[in-house]
Structure 1
Amino acid sequence: MIKKALIFAVICIALGSLFTFFIMRKSAQKNEVVPDTELIQQQMKNVSKLVVNEAKIAQIYNYKDEKSFMNLLSFDKKAMVVVNADVQIMYDLSKLEYTIDEANKIVKITSIPKEELKISPEIKIYDVEESRFNAFEGADYNIIQESVTKQFHEKISQSNIRANAQNRLLSELSKFLVVTQSLGWQLQYQNQTIANTEDLNTFLPL
């Protein structure tokens, strides 16, 4: 009986030690420290996406073209042009270029992608007035298309659409600042240290 009890005790101790070993190993795996560079690269990967700001713009234009015959007769054509356009301002952050200086704990942003502006206008022409000697042609529609695109570029530059897109870009870039500062690293752009979100507005070429 004593021998059986000793064998049983040894088995229990062995199983207990084995159980403790696996528990400690699993716990150690859970507490494994991930290198700073890996965390930073993962954050860079998360932000490497297409930042898109969209807007819709509607505008009405008056188109007019005049032709005359020896300054005696005038042949005019005109129309009302209604434009509804989808506008997108995009930043492709997969094109963001950076280096990681592990020795000095510095993340250096070397290049930020330029904005990409896409205007998709839907043009409708109403109240067309023309003459036999000055009728609407394909060239007129091309002129209207070019004029509309030019005016929309000017309208966008005067609106808050571009500012909203830049704010979204800064919001994404500020994630780099948060992760680098939390790890005790520095974030730089062209040798300028980015210490806060105000510096992002000051130093970045937006």
Structure 2
Amino acid sequence: MVEDKDIKLSNDPSSAKQATCFFLDPETSKDVAFVQFPQMFHNLSNKDIYGSQSRRGLTMAMIMPQANLESTMYIESLRAIHGQQIVKKNIPRYVILQEAQAVASCSYDIDTNWGDEARVSKYSPFTYGISRMPIMHAFAFCYFTSTVQYAVAFTLYAFILPLSFFKGIPLFPMVKFNTTLALLLCYLAL
């Protein structure tokens, strides 16, 4: 059984217990691959701060088929996904180490078209998906598929700012009274 990283943030403390009941039921456990707990907080006002201003995106993620399970509180059963049979083989330790080294080296996809097919696809969410779904679904889909790009900016911001601070290089412009007053007036005009 695998738990999502955010299951501890679920607003229902009995979520794991409920999922375990689904997986241990002899009649339904063969058909249940994962139990999903959406990150939705009920009985809150429209101005709550707990939705992180992405309530619309999370609502659309719950509606969209094949949601990316990003912060959706899920618990999955690997037996339901991979089958009920348990394979008991005595695999030598050196074979496991060789397989782990092959996977870790990322050399298993050399001379294959897998990398090109995965990167450049005609089924890109920005071109293929938008024209075939409602506009709010398209916005939510594009938002969730492009959130990975924020990692580059966050990484640069995390390393360049402290390094420039320790070297004494100013990254932000000097604040002068005239500039501050002009910016303050522009801000108040909005």
TM-score, normalised by the number of residues in structure 2: 0.21
Please say which structure displays the higher CA radius of gyration: 1
| Structure ranking higher on relative contact order (CA contacts 8 Å, 6+ apart) | 2
More strand by share: 1
